[in-house]
Amino acid sequence: MSEIAVGDVLPELRVRITRADLVRYAGAALDFNPIHWNEAFAKGVGLPDVIAHGMLTMALAGRVVTGWGVGALVDYQARFTRPVVVPNDDTGALVELSGKVGAILEDGTIRVDLSAKFDGRAVLGKAIAIVRP
């Protein structure tokens, strides 16, 4: 494999999240919080509409790293800074995921700084993956 350097950009990913995707993820992750599938409930607790699971967005951003294929993701953290609002239509919410090499650490692992955007704004903060090649 060619040398990996700080500043390298990982292949970007664009994913549309629909209500059906939320239902599927809820079942797979066993996360049945109604803010992720029940519009009336979500609005009742002050949210604009149904929102995606933060953990789903985190998993999608993780795909930028697993798809890169350089090594195993050994440490992964993210802050959920803004909700991904998912309308009740076939188009869903477009989430744009990207990453770049932030540092090569002393133990040979690679720090990847990830970004997830919805409506042009960051929905994850301090999203950092440590990859062991």
Partner 1 sequence: MALEQSFVGREYPPESVYEVGREKIREFAEAIGDPRPEYLDVEAAKALGYADVVAPPTFTTIVNLASINRIVNDPELGLDYSRMVHGDQSFTHHSPVVAGDRLAVTTVVESVSRRAGNDFITLKAEIRTESGEPRVTTRALLVVRDAEQEQA
Binding site for partner 1 (CB under 8 A): 15, 21, 24-25, 27-31, 41, 45-46, 54-56, 58-60, 62-63, 65-67, 72-80, 125-126
Q: Minimal distance in Å, beta carbon 7 to partner 1?
A: 23
Q: Minimal distance in Å, beta carbon 60 to partner 1?
A: 6
**Looking at the DSSP assignment, which residues form a beta bridge with residue 129?**
76, 112
Q: Which is nearer to partner 1, 37 or 76 (CB)?
A: 76
Q: How far apart are CA 114 and CA 55, in angstroms?
A: 14
Q: Minimal distance in Å, beta carbon 72 to partner 1?
A: 7
Give SS3 for 39: helix
Helix (H) or strand (E) holding 117: strand 110-118
Q: Which is nearer to partner 1, 66 or 98 (CB)?
A: 66
Q: Minimal distance in Å, beta carbon 62 to partner 1?
A: 5
Q: How far apart are CA 83 and CA 77, in angstroms?
A: 17
Q: Which is nearer to partner 1, 7 or 20 (CB)?
A: 20
Q: Tokens at residue 49, please? A: 């509409």
Q: Residue 78 in contact with residue 11, Cβ under 8 Å? A: no
Q: Which is nearer to partner 1, 15 or 94 (CB)?
A: 15
Integer angstrom CA distances of residue 102 from 76, 113, 128: 14, 6, 9
Q: Minimal distance in Å, beta carbon 44 to partner 1?
A: 8
Q: Which is nearer to partner 1, 7 or 92 (CB)?
A: 92
Q: Residue 79 in contact with residue 25, Cβ under 8 Å? A: no
